[in-house]
Amino acid sequence: MTHRIYNFTAGPCTLPLAVLESARAELLDFQGCGMSVLEISHRSKRFEAVHEETLALAQELLAAPADFQPLLLAGGAHQQFDMIPLNLLADGGSAAYINSGIWAEKALKEAERVGDAREIWTGRDSGFTTLPDALPPLPADCCYLYLTSNETISGVQYRDYPTAAVPLVIDASSDYYTRAIPWERCAIVYGGVQKNLAPAGLALVFVRRDLIKDHPRVPKFLTYAAHAAANSLYNTPPTWQIYMLNKVLHWIKDSGGIAHFEAESINKSGLLYDYIDCSNYYQSDVPPACRSRTNVTFRTPSPELDTRFWQEAERQGFAGLKGHKLLGGIRASLYNAMPKSGVEALIDYMQTFAAKNA
Ligand code: PMP
């Protein structure tokens, strides 16, 4: 039997075993063509079929309306930090950013290089453990409100997305396909795929079609128009990532779709937070109303014990529990491919550790 441990890494991260096995089984000979999917042209009929199906499944599973165009773009989420303001502020106007954590802040800093981007709220003083109670006023000429659905590092997540006078741009990288999207409020929804969907290096971006325009002064490769016109085959795409994304989307569909994974996400994170809150040993810095369901951050009574916790955990078959270097502590990432049994095993380990190190 293959040796597999529980992998709580924040991303790249655990992928469904069934998907890895299926990819392994056909790695050398894809659909009987005598070549690997890694070796075939992105313009071949075989790959185009995978590509088309992936786009269609991505749209169907997240219930994205037809007026949103799905795009598969290399460059991960970082490239979107730039493409979003380059495209949406090309004709002027301003953008409002909610600075809820390291990822929102990175997006803001990029947007500031491009145009009139304003931070309308920051959680920096709280160590990025909170979200705004109410929406602050938006700047004049505001074109979009940018938010990070789930801050992967500090572990804060919107329960409900805000409603604003302007459309939302949502970075859903770390809770993509774990919850529904309020499409009627959105201009762009995007995420890097390396948490819930596929290996790293690709972004899945949904852009409202009326916003897809050529901007002659923006480098063509960085316009949504170029990629939309070529159905995401403008340049040679990361074919392996797209092929794996296709398999994971099938796995999501066969498992019961977003509704199933949303329930799982509530269930798995609920088990862990309930244990943390009852333990008198572990504590979460994040108030319950904005706790992430996909990245659960917590601490033991001291930084030294935090280190001992994740080091010993590694020896016992739990990978990736070390908190992000900026915050320390412990972080357990509970993406779709993490089974409930992994969370239960982690809680067992936490109980034993707390008893031993009280
Ligand atoms: N946004 C969020 C919420 C993230 O968690 C990450 C990566 N961890 C990024 C953006 C950046 O993704 P990438 O490295 O694919 O550019």
Per residue in 204-235, pLDDT (tens digit) is: 999 999 999 999 999 999 999 999 999 999 99
Which pLDDT does position 90 carry in this prediction? 97
pLDDT in tens, 61-120: 999 999 999 999 999 999 999 999 999 999 999 999 999 999 999 999 999 999 999 999
**With pLDDT > 70 as the criterion, what percentage of the chain qualifies?**
100
Q: Token pair of 83, please?
A: 């493409």
**What 8-state DSSP symbol labels residue 202?**
E
Annotated catalytic residues are: 103, 171, 195
Q: Scan for tokens 């190190």, then name that residue.
A: 357
Domain ranges of the chain: 19-255, 257-356
**CB of 148 sitting under 6 A from ligand 1:** yes
Q: At the top level of CATH, which class does the domain 19-255 belong to?
A: alpha beta
Phi first, then psi: give them for residue 188, nearest 5 degrees: -140, 135
Nearest C-alpha to atom 3 of ligand 1 is from which residue?
173
User: With 80 as the cut, is the pLDDT of residue 36 above it?
Assistant: yes
Burial 54-63 (b: 16+ CB within 10 A, else e): bbebbbebbe
CA 348 – CA 351 distance, rounded (Å)? 5
Q: pLDDT (tens digit, 9 = 90+) per residue, 112-122?
A: 999 999 999 99
For residues 298-306, give the mean pLDDT: 98
Going from the Cα of 172 to the center of ligand 1, the distance in angstroms, rounded, reads 9
155 lines ligand 1 (CB under 6 A): no
Distances (CA, A) of 346 to 7, 196, 337: 11, 20, 15
**Residue 2's pLDDT is what?**
82
Among residues 323, 318, 320, the alpha carbon closest in space to that of 345 is found at 318
Does ligand 1 lie within 6 Å of residue 174's CB atom?
yes
Is residue 122 marked as binding?
Answer: no
| Residue located via tokens 């201009």 | 187
- Cβ of 199 closer than 6 Å to ligand 1, yes or no, is no
User: Does 1 score more than 80 pLDDT?
Assistant: no
Compute the average pLDDT of residues 295-314: 98
Residue recorded with tokens 């993509």: 176
Q: Which atom of ligand 1 is nearest to the CA of 101?
A: 3
Where residue 146 falls among pLDDT bands split at 50, 70, 90? very high
Rounded to the nearest 10 degrees, how much is the dihedral formed by the CA atoms of 155, 157, 159, 163?
160
- C-alpha span between 73 and 70 (Å, rounded): 10
What distance in angstroms lies between residue 103's CA and the mean position of ligand 1's atoms? Answer: 7
Average pLDDT over residues 137-158: 97
Residue of 146, 173, 193 best suited for mutating to test ligand 1, as the one with most atoms within 8 Å of CB: 173
Above 90 in pLDDT, residue 285? yes
Q: What is the DSSP letter of 29?
A: S
Q: At which residue do the structure tokens 């469904």 appear?
A: 16
Q: What is the pTM of this model?
A: 0.97
Please tell me whether 194 is known to bind a ligand.
yes
Beta carbons of 135 and 164 less than 8 angstroms apart: yes
Q: Does residue 287 surpass a pLDDT of 80?
A: yes
3-state secondary structure 44-80: CHHHHHHHHHHHHHHHHHCCCCCCEEEEEEECHHHHH
Q: Is the CB of 77 under 6 A from ligand 1?
A: yes
The C-alpha atoms of residue 90 and residue 62 are separated, in whole angstroms, by: 28
- DSSP letter at 159 equals S
257-356 belongs to CATH 1.20.1530.20: no
Residues contacting residue 223 through CB under 8 Å, at least 6 positions apart: 83, 86, 87, 213, 214, 215
Ligand 1 centroid to residue 321 C-alpha, Å: 18
